[in-house]
Structure 1
């Protein structure tokens, strides 16, 4: 499909079919954001102005700053502890075909447990976050309504997006249950022990490449997917001509 065929708004078949190639990609119009900077004064009389948070992912990943919360450990006894986002194809990753979709797995980074449609327990590391984003997004993309409901309840950050997704999934089936593309590459936009923002590139069945931005957050001892308020599992969906500039990562050649 072409970039103009990417589902947007109410014309998409469901909140998360097609591994991230969904509504958040092509919002109609521009949203103006008013940033309010609060200036406080310390006891010495000096003004301290908090730095504004990033409104978009940065172009390069970075390790967590020294002030970030301490890493709380890995789920399920996983052994990966490397806090540096990968800059080359991760080693030790194998791929499993699920409904025709190749999904990554690592004995050191997860998933440590697979319970029906839910693959959970990831290392509290960049690699754990990368595999979690891929696994959760891919499994949602090929899931039946009933399976997708289980995944959302177990592996999504609660909020308006989850509420909308669960509501839509209570109706008729919204997906075909088959993959329309395969993971091809990735790029970390940013990483802290709390939040990872990752661009995933997929090679679609028609030979084109799409890239979408996924956000996962560390919550309750595991990485969980942050949905958009409209129910989309990713944002910034666009079409690219190749994987140039991204790190190759695929289980299907």
Structure 2
């Protein structure tokens, strides 16, 4: 087991029965592994074993590149999730840290996002782009580089989910993210133990976020379905549960140490029903 897992019996073959599933086609094992201080992306999700391949890029503790957010391909039918009177953040200038946004935002927009959050910049965390927004967060960063302090809102929960997933892949931050951005409990203990005992997997491709949808939201818990794309090709999605605790959003793991337990990832034919949200062009 690892942070991501799926029951192979729950992934159906294609209608003609002849086409290999995405997971088998790529030679991935759907039970993902968190490995020591090394977490690499192997399946459309971020943790798994691969039979071959080498890391596509070296992990870096300090992000250096910021790119503008991808714009939706269609005009949204409702206003953005986090409208602001301020101009969009200039590419190359991340939102300020320790400002009045994120978890310090006293009046966050409580609408469920139906379009890509506005005024977002994307910054590399290792080889994956993560979103930053002055209003929604993150508004704080610790000495290890772990980002926190997200708005108590649906958009804040989305941003917290994506940033947490991106940072947990950075081998320099994996242990710190597990310790500070995941709720304490049997699941976290299991993940930490496996991080110390598992063999190192090999990276076989690059993963970038593709979109999201808010499955459920209350002031105490949010379930965010996150879609990710592997090598600009296949796309899959998985639900992540976030809980509001001690004034911030944190991930909640299942008792087996995974994000999803027996819930199989969805292999997507497109992003219909998802909010397109990506920093990769």
Q: TM-score if structure 1 supplies the norm length?
A: 0.70
- The question of whether the paired residues in 1 share the 8 Å contact of 2:101 and 2:135 is answered with no
Distance 2:188 2:205 in 1: 22
- The question of whether the paired residues in 1 share the 8 Å contact of 2:161 and 2:242 is answered with yes
Choose from 202, 213, 232 the match for 2:228: 202
Q: Deviations over 1:127-172 (max 9, x none)?
A: 110000001111112334xx21211111111122101111122246
1:132 aligns with 2:152: no
Point out where structure 1 has 5 or more consecutive residues left out of the alignment.
Answer: 24-72
Partner SS for 2:129: strand
Return closer, same or farther for 1:195/1:76 CA change in 2, 3 Å cut-off.
closer
Match of 1:244?
272
Distance 2:192 2:160 in 1: 20
Structure 1 or 2, whichever has the larger Rg, is 1
1:14 aligns with 2:34: yes
Distance 1:231 1:203 in 2: 24
Distance 2:156 2:30 in 1: 30
1:82 aligns with 2:104: no
- The question of whether the paired residues in 1 share the 8 Å contact of 2:101 and 2:137 is answered with no
Distance 2:213 2:115 in 1: 10
Equivalent residues in 2 for 1:216-227, closer than 5 Å: 216-227=242-253
Residue 203 of structure 1 deviates from its aligned partner by 1.0
Return closer, same or farther for 1:205/1:108 CA change in 2, 3 Å cut-off.
same
1:114 aligns with 2:114: no
Partner SS for 1:243: coil
Match of 1:2?
22
1:232 aligns with 2:258: yes
Q: Deviations over 1:214-246 (max 9, x none)?
A: 110000110000112222234541211121221
Q: Deviations over 1:174-212 (max 9, x none)?
A: 456897310011111010110110111111116100111
Root-mean-square deviation over aligned CA pairs: 2.7
- The question of whether the paired residues in 2 share the 8 Å contact of 1:195 and 1:216 is answered with yes
Q: TM-score if structure 2 supplies the norm length?
A: 0.63
- The question of whether the paired residues in 1 share the 8 Å contact of 2:178 and 2:188 is answered with yes
Residue 92 of structure 1 deviates from its aligned partner by 1.1
Residue 76 of structure 1 deviates from its aligned partner by 5.2
Match of 1:148?
174
Return closer, same or farther for 1:136/1:84 CA change in 2, 3 Å cut-off.
same
Partner SS for 2:109: coil
Residue 75 of structure 1 deviates from its aligned partner by 5.5
The number of aligned residues is 200
Point out where structure 2 has 5 or more consecutive residues left out of the alignment.
Answer: 1-20, 49-99
